Structure 1
Amino acid sequence: MVATGTLLTFVVAAIASLFMAWAIGAGSSGSTPFAAAVGANAISVMRAGFVVGLLGFAGAVLQGANVTEAVGTELIGGVSLTATAAIVGLLTAAILVAIGVFTGYPIATAFTVTGAVVGVGLALGGDPAWAKYRQIGLLWVLTPFVGGGVAYGTARLLRSPSIPERYAIAPLGGLVGALVATIDFALLGPPGEGGSIASTLGTAVPGGTPVVAFACALLVTAVLFRGLVTDPETTQRRFLLTLGGLVAFSAGGSQVGLAIGPLVPLLDDLAIPLPAVLAGGGFGLLLGSWTGAPRMIKALAQDYSSLGPRRSIAALIPSFAIAQAAVAFGIPVSFNEIVVSAIIGSGYAAGGSGVSRRKMLYTVLAWVGSLVLALGVAFAAFSVIDAL
């Protein structure tokens, strides 16, 4: 039987987690996926906030386990987070993210949550998880260069007058189709594991998973090519919105772990299943997307770069790929960093048209500062509370 005090403390931690989920939904996961599409006038700001909330919820439920478990158990060694530590860490990170939402500057949620969890973990007497930090740091450092570089190259390809759009966009769509076919979903795997569309269908197809993934790529390529011949404007817009939806789904799978990960060490004692907590975190993301995301969508869509449909497509493709890599390896990653880097990269493909260098500088400083500040504040706050 669970003690009343333990249950009450968990409820308080869950409320802090819900607040964190709301802040993330209003900030990175709610604003970044459709920012490029809004910038290209493919969808309105309010409609984007509504759709991204639903897709983020689905991603949280179907893909959220990996990052959630990593945030809850792999950022600190030697100790498990207590309910009090989870509350302090979540509130510290949520307040910093909320400040970013209301000031219009995208604070990197992965930086704040990672810093806060490490801060309270060290205050508990835990050991730094250096191997995991190296893995996380490598992805964080590479993201702007890989995402921005791929977006830049893709945008240059799509802008090339010597290559018709149907010969450039259709194969890119095929690559996206192959990636969708090979990513894992909770509903397609055995209990506690995920499975992909390609691996599920591959059991009944000669050649298995690779053949199914290749077939998906060919199918998407053919459909896009035909559409770009018959109605290029509509097809391009639909492809752009599809990419935004995939990024929104991926955001839910990644960002929900930042909100509910600190609760993982508390679940066994209370016999609460992880899928139920994932659904709760996804609901928080949805609320944040519906109530707070439009402000940040506008900031990203208009303040960073004036994007057309082709540069928006170029920004979203690497964003989707990097997000899914982070989900697969259980690495907390900031969607602000992913999408802003890609938006800037695609913007520079047009000679830096519309790219605000001043905004870029302030954003990078906000990212670095949020990591250091979250770690320091969480460590100090928990140390004071623990002493009392």
Structure 2
Amino acid sequence: MTADAPVDGSAEKLRRLQTITDAALSRLGVEDLLAELLARTRELLGADSAAVMLVDPSGTELIATAASGLEREVHLGVRVPVGRGFSGTVAARGEPFAIEHVDHTNVVSPVLLAEHIESVLGVPMVVSGRVIGVLYVGTRSRRRFTSDDVELLQLVADRASLATQARMSRLDRAAALALQRSLLPARPQAVPGLDLAVRYVPGAEVGVGGDWYDVFDLPSGHVGIVIGDVAGNGLHAAVVMGRIRSALRAYAMETDDPADVLTRLDRKVQRFEPDAMATAVYAVFDPDLAAVTVSSAGHLPPIVSDPSSALARVLPDLPLGAYPDAPRHNTRLPLAPGTALFLYTDGLVERRDRALSDGLDQLVSAVRAAPADVMCAEAMAALLFDRAPTDDVAVLAVRRARAPAA
């Protein structure tokens, strides 16, 4: 190919590209979509290679995600710091950038040099004003890319960006939902003397997040129950939730003191999840079930029903991850036969169009001392009767069995 070679039939090629992206690729997954687009891009621009590098979650690196003619970049897991090298410069500037002669001074990826790529043209992949990656093409002969080349490549990048973001969001939500549900026990383990029931509904607007509940017996004969909510939504929140849930279980094996468990868990979050924050209520039932010890890390108070219902007088401490070495304390609650403890996440009571206190009052009115499954069903029906939840909702009802009649 000669230098300054124009793209022949640009209007026709744009029309063909639009047909491809709107129809033939509409049902492909992210990897197949990008692979097909890159193959078509090479053909349309007469290039020897094409590749997509996406920004990693930290926003500091580009990761080779798909390639046509430069597959080794993907196979080797090439990463380029944002702001360095060719593709890093495109991402940092957020505008097209071309190099006529590639050498070790202007590229970071060793694959470009090994494949004898002479000239490259890259454009940013942008969604809602945010750069999510870089699309670039390369030729083995020296070439000065034209404005038509830039326009065509940017069109491909714009369409690839929207399609990639939409598909990745769907995959993210599906993966988060699968992960979250795999970590939540479908049915809590049976505990002699306790009637247990749960509900979990993913949010309709924000998607899956970090809500969780758990029930487990301890070697000492105590029984632990927990409900919590990791701030944020999507796959990241679900992954953090999984790590927090597992850590809490491990710490619970070492002590029957809920405040001690949450203190250790907070240290773990502060150290290994520095950007995370979560609320939780952890309660430990005595072996004879006569009382329960409760500690709250910034979570909404449980409801005690015996048989009248009221918010438990459990003063919350700071959330997990909020402040280093935050003091934590326990509250002891008596648990007479027939008494129920109802735990929930904020998605059940919070709405944009009403005060939180109104939602709590409505929930207290809906909860009554009844079989645990009835408690869950009635609370969900009362609070979500007229709309789908906009945030994840998790509830956990525990009721001490009544003593058998003499």
TM-score (norm 2): 0.22
Taking structure 1 as the reference length, the TM-score comes to: 0.23
Higher strand share: 2
Q: Pick the structure with greater CA Rg.
A: 2
